[in-house]
Structure 1
Amino acid sequence: MTADLSPALLEQWYPALLSSELHDKPVSTMLFGKQIVLFRTSKGVHAFKDLCIHRGVPLSLGRVENDELVCAYHGWRYNGCGDCVKIPSLPVERAIPDKAKASTYSCIERFGLIWICIGSPKDSVPAFFPYLNEELKVVLMGPYELAAAGPRIVENFLDVSHLMFVHEGLLGDSRFPEIRDYRVNEEVGLLRTDEIVVFQPDADGRGTSMNSHYVYEVYGPFTAALIKRNPDNDEMFHLFLMVLPMTEQKSRAFMLKARNYDKEAPDDAFIAFQDTLIEQDRVMVENQKPELLPLDLQMELHLKCDRMSIAYRQSLKDWGVTFGTA
């Protein structure tokens, strides 16, 4: 499977798990159809291929003991670097075979999430992290399990013209559906729209109507952001979407919201608002046909308001992304 993935996918960081989901036992997750085991030691978090090289049993069935991952089948013990350091059935005078290693992946823990990269990371942290500065209140939302292809989820997030219908009364009003023309600007490693004006009856769950100014950004195949600004004051937030593409038609989505207002307010209302939006989007992305995102622009009809979607699809093609696309 890894050999079929483009470098643009292999070099990215993906949110695999909430930090709160990983305690003293190993946990299995999936990325691009590959089973991965995550575990925690006194030195931090670790990610291995979820397979013991001895007899093919998932390492996630084992346990963590003395900072070592212990296979449940024959007790083989692996340190945090993937080296097998003990084989109980091997006489003590015999050396552990050099091949006795687990396949390891890069793994970090930031902002309440555990991130993995199955290739050589392009950056030491996910590309959008510089926007999460100390002046903003950062709220983690999700995870959201969706029976949909990762690119479909990202494109739905970037689709400004669905707000007035799927999220009517919250993010839009069907009496004001018009989207004025905008451009998509391409920079090094980034797609960004011009500001798009959208009337919103309840812009972020606080019951306030306004003309919000939107800017959409794409940082990679499965990471995007919405920057929403209130032109009447200095209020703004970044809403980051990060998708873990588990299989071609099953994904786990996480979101981070970084706001510069109501910093002392409880986060529950903001989280509940986003939960509602995701459930409304679920109906669409889990029922779209074809299930995989078409990269051939002739397969569907596009309007000028779809320019960000068009640019995203073109970037996926340029990046050589075939996972989750048609």
Structure 2
Amino acid sequence: MEIEATIRDAWYPVAVVEDLKEGVRYHTRLLGQDIEYGRDKEGRFSARREGGDACRVQTCYHTHWVSLGEPAEAFFAVPEFSEPDRRILGAGSMRVHVSGLRAIENFLDMAHFPYVHTGYLGEEPHTDVAPYSVEFDRDTDEIYARECRFYQPRAASASTAGIDTDYIYRVASPFVAILYKTSPPQPTRRDVICLFVQPVEEDWCIAHTVLAYLDDISSDQDLRQFQQTIFGQDLMILSNHMPRTLPLGTRLEVPTRADAMSAAYRRWLLQKGISYGTYQAH
């Protein structure tokens, strides 16, 4: 199939830095194509199509990225990765049987917190999603949801009590979403959770999670286990989504007020002419 240039020329994650052993070649798929990748004995990362040409590569935000086309050199900015007091680590890469766009949209949804992440990110009777603002940044071509607030009994690994957690959601590209949320150890600052999605096929993806945390209490294992618990709970929702690709119209799935960011994301994809990974009625 012909893949639109916006998708073909983008950067995609294939591995978190600590998951690769030097001198080992790994195999995966990206946009329906087989690729191999790895780091050599000197730590240099490279990738190529199976039996074919070398791919453009870059290592950024604790993640190895690959493009099958002609990508822009500049990356979206996440300055928190340069702050010396942050813990930077990968929190797992999970293969999911949905479009990568579905995985991003699920990441943007707060309404399911009390029902899917009970005791962690929400609980009854705190079920209402308060109104929040959504804005498009025309300079960077990104979407932000601001003034998001939700009561969470255990917002993070280091939490000792429930708090009203402030959120900012950011969509930096169709397959990249970033969450800034209240840090329990430093409530005036925000932890950063990055969801970098690798579209394997139109209806399969690998979700790579990278953390930039202010937590100096929890171990690396504790931080990873907490995030993997949350994502494991999300798998129940994602694995039951039908269709597995993402509808961009409103006939199949009707948004509510609580879905303002999801609706904005779908409109944004539609305006960009994205069809890869979207639901096409026949």
Query: Do both share a fold (TM > 0.5)?
Result: yes
Does 2:268 align with 1:277? no
Distance, in Å, in 2 between the alignment partners of 1:112 and 1:242 is 11
Distance, in Å, in 2 between the alignment partners of 1:236 and 1:44 is 32
- 8 Å Cα contact 1:213/1:230 also seen in 2: no
Distance, in Å, in 2 between the alignment partners of 1:36 and 1:287 is 29
Give matches, 1:1-326, under 5 Å.
1=1, 4-19=2-17, 20-41=19-40, 42=42, 44-51=44-51, 102-124=52-74, 126-135=75-84, 136-187=86-137, 188-205=140-157, 206-229=159-182, 233-260=187-214, 262-263=215-216, 265-326=218-279
Give the letter aligned to residue 26 of structure 2. V
- 8 Å Cα contact 1:241/1:255 also seen in 2: yes
- 8 Å Cα contact 2:62/2:88 also seen in 1: no
Deviation at 1:271, TM superposition (A): 0.9
Distance, in Å, in 2 between the alignment partners of 1:265 and 1:12 is 35
Give the letter aligned to residue 251 of structure 1. C
Cα 1:174–1:267, aligned 2, differ >3 Å: closer, same or farther?
Answer: same
- 8 Å Cα contact 1:18/1:113 also seen in 2: yes
**Structure 2 SS opposite 1:293:** coil
**Structure 1 SS opposite 2:187:** coil
Give a deviation string over 1:80-137, Cα, whole Å, max 9, x none: xxxxxxxxxxxxxxxxxxxxxx42211123454321111222234x414433122322
Give a deviation string over 1:151-199, Cα, whole Å, max 9, x none: 1110000001111111011000120111121221000321001211100
**Structure 2 SS opposite 1:271:** helix
Give the letter aligned to residue 268 of structure 2. S
**Structure 2 SS opposite 1:292:** coil
Cα 1:22–1:249, aligned 2, differ >3 Å: closer, same or farther?
Answer: farther
- 8 Å Cα contact 2:150/2:164 also seen in 1: yes
- 8 Å Cα contact 1:138/1:258 also seen in 2: yes
- 8 Å Cα contact 1:132/1:138 also seen in 2: yes
**Structure 1 SS opposite 2:82:** coil
Distance, in Å, in 2 between the alignment partners of 1:224 and 1:216 is 7
- 8 Å Cα contact 2:16/2:208 also seen in 1: no
Give the match for residue 80 of structure 1.
none
**Structure 2 SS opposite 1:315:** helix
Distance, in Å, in 2 between the alignment partners of 1:243 and 1:137 is 21
Deviation at 1:298, TM superposition (A): 2.2
Structure 2: runs of 5+ lacking an equivalent: none
Distance, in Å, in 2 between the alignment partners of 1:103 and 1:247 is 20
Give the letter aligned to residue 234 of structure 2. D
**Structure 1 SS opposite 2:254:** coil
Distance, in Å, in 2 between the alignment partners of 1:224 and 1:152 is 12
Distance, in Å, in 2 between the alignment partners of 1:50 and 1:129 is 32
**Structure 1 SS opposite 2:269:** helix
Distance, in Å, in 2 between the alignment partners of 1:202 and 1:112 is 26
- 8 Å Cα contact 1:5/1:321 also seen in 2: no
TM-score with structure 1 setting the length: 0.78
Give the match for residue 54 of structure 1.
none
Structure 1: runs of 5+ lacking an equivalent: 52-101
Give a deviation string over 1:205-251, Cα, whole Å, max 9, x none: 33421000111110001000111126993242111100001012221
Distance, in Å, in 1 between the alignment partners of 2:77 and 2:235 is 25
Cα 1:22–1:106, aligned 2, differ >3 Å: closer, same or farther?
Answer: farther
- 8 Å Cα contact 1:210/1:230 also seen in 2: no
Give the letter aligned to residue 45 of structure 2. V
**Structure 1 SS opposite 2:227:** helix
Identity of aligned residues (%): 27
> Bigger CA drift: 14-23 or 228-237?
228-237
Distance, in Å, in 1 between the alignment partners of 2:208 and 2:9 is 19
